[in-house]
């Protein structure tokens, strides 16, 4: 992340005034936590983000498999609808 983007993210710039106040509140509340609570909070956030990433990957893979299955079904239907195709076997 570039320094200007990092600075604007840290200052809450680019978001509504309510979002900036909320992020400041969250930062102050987080900085007031003891080290062990900071660590456990960060671990929980990371695990939540990891769960979201896994969910996204699984959903995308499931969609691809569904698309392949639909394609195979259409291919079989087209082949069986063609006269004489059902009895013909590929030459080996």
Give me the pLDDT at residue 7, please.
47
pLDDT the model gives residue 81: 67
pLDDT at 8: 45
Contact 20, 10 (CB under 8 A): no
Give the pLDDT means over successive 10-residue stretches in the chain (92 positions): 46 56 92 95 96 97 94 79 57 56
Instruction: Pull the structure tokens for residue 9.
Output: 């993210």
Q: Look at residue 16 in the predicted model and tell me its pLDDT.
A: 52
C-alpha–C-alpha distance, residues 67 and 74, integer Å: 11
d(CA 12, CA 2): 15
Q: Determine the pLDDT at residue 53.
A: 97
pTM of the complete model: 0.51
For residue 36, the model assigns a pLDDT of 95
């Amino acid at each position: 992340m570039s320094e200007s983007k990092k600075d604007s993210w840290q200052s809450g710039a680019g978001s509504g005034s309510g979002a900036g106040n909320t992020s400041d509140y969250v930062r102050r509340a987080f900085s007031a936590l003891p080290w062990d609570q900071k660590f456990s909070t960060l671990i929980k956030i990371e695990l939540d983000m990891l769960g979201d990433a896994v969910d996204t990957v699984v959903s995308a893979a499931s969609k691809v498999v569904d698309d392949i299955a639909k394609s195979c079904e259409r291919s079989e239907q087209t082949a069986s609808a063609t006269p004489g195709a059902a009895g013909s076997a590929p030459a080996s």
